[in-house]
Amino acid sequence: MGKNILILDFDGTTSSHVPNPNEATFESGVLEFIKSFLEADSRNVLYFLTGRDPRYLQSLLPQDLRDHIEIFGNHGLSKIDDLGDLIVSPEAREYVDATSDLVAGLIAEIPDLKGHLEDKTLGVVLHLRWLQDVVSDRIVLGTHKFLSNNPELAGKFEAVSCDGVLELRPRLYHDKGTALYGLMEELGYDNVESLFYAGNDIPDIPAFTAVTKICSDHRIRGHNFVVVEKNSAIEHSHDYTSNKDITVADVVSLVDALGVHLLDKSQIRPGFEAITRSYLKSEQS
Ligand SMILES: [Mg+2]
């Protein structure tokens, strides 16, 4: 019998969005679910796959869980090793110094950025969701001006905007989908019994697609859990999910859905079914 793999995203999936990205933390019930999942079956294995620097998630996990969870960061370009140190994949190593230059330059040029810049060690995210339009526009303009004045950095990072953030990410052929295939190659497809992924945003789409294809090609049981908040970028994306996927309306409902589907929990919070059904209904209509 193979392993049961569950892969979780962090921002907007297992943590709710907050104005200061450096204050994001696990939604209530997430750590309890993780503990129950790992204890329920010795074949259950849990990974985080986040766009963040993986050390941020490491700092949020209690020690007894850290030893049993592998954390991939920067969409899979980095991870925490067994000793708890950061490992950056070889193709991304030149981006560590480039990111320091980028962070220092942006903060020096754009005073509004304070508290809204997330340094990911390999790239940065500017969190604009909670800002007034005029401030957000000033940051976006300032960033593009900084990049056009610094062509060497502009050549290394591409600007991608989605769902209230502007991300400057390494120009590498890499996403959460390639990260997922890499993990499966490492584990060996035959050693995997089931595969589940939970995410909420555009960068998760390659992972959703990979899970659907891997499950069908290798006859592995599994599906995606998709958190679709109202007016989010993914809500307006038409190709994010297959009909096998489970869609929930927010982070709290995801915790319930994971419990119901992966732990056979019959105790669910009131409102969970109603939320899920209303989403399904609006998708069909
Ligand atoms: Mg996310």
Structural domains in the chain, CATH included, are: 3-77+174-284 (3.40.50.1000), 91-170 (3.30.70)
pLDDT at 285 over 60: no
Distance 85 CA to ligand 1 centre (A): 23
Distance 149 CA to ligand 1 centre (A): 31
Mean pLDDT of 51-58: 95
Distance 234 CA to ligand 1 centre (A): 10
pLDDT at 68 over 70: yes
Please provide the DSSP assignment of the chain as one string: --EEEEEE--BTTTB---SSGGG--PPTTHHHHHHHHHHH-TTEEEEEE-SS-HHHHHHHS-HHHHTTEEEEEGGGTEEE-TTS-EEE-GGGTHHHHHHHHHHHHHHHH-GGGTTTEEE-SSSEEEE-TTS-HHHHHHHHHHHHHHHHH-HHHHHHEEEEEETTEEEEEE-SS--HHHHHHHHHHHH-GGGEEEEEEEE-SGGGHHHHHHHHHHHHHTT-EEEEEEE--TT-TTTT-TTS--TTSEEESSHHHHHHHHHHHHH------TTHHHHHHHHHHHHH-
Report the alpha-carbon distance of residue 129 to residue 197 in Å, rounded: 25
Distance 113 CA to ligand 1 centre (A): 21
Check if the beta carbon of residue 184 is closer than 8 Å to that of residue 190: no
Mean pLDDT of 75-93: 93
Distance 252 CA to ligand 1 centre (A): 14
Distance 218 CA to ligand 1 centre (A): 27
Distance 205 CA to ligand 1 centre (A): 11
State which residues have CB under 5 angstroms from ligand 1, the bound ion: 9, 11-13, 200-201
Average pLDDT, the chain: 89
Distance 76 CA to ligand 1 centre (A): 14
Residue 265: its pLDDT value, please?
A: 58
Distance 202 CA to ligand 1 centre (A): 8
Distance 19 CA to ligand 1 centre (A): 15
Confidence of residue 245 (pLDDT cuts 50, 70, 90): confident
| Per-residue model confidence as pLDDT tens digits over 156-215 | 999 998 778 999 999 998 999 999 999 999 999 999 999 999 999 989 999 999 999 999
Distance 227 CA to ligand 1 centre (A): 9
| Per-residue model confidence as pLDDT tens digits over 132-158 | 999 999 999 999 999 999 999 999 999
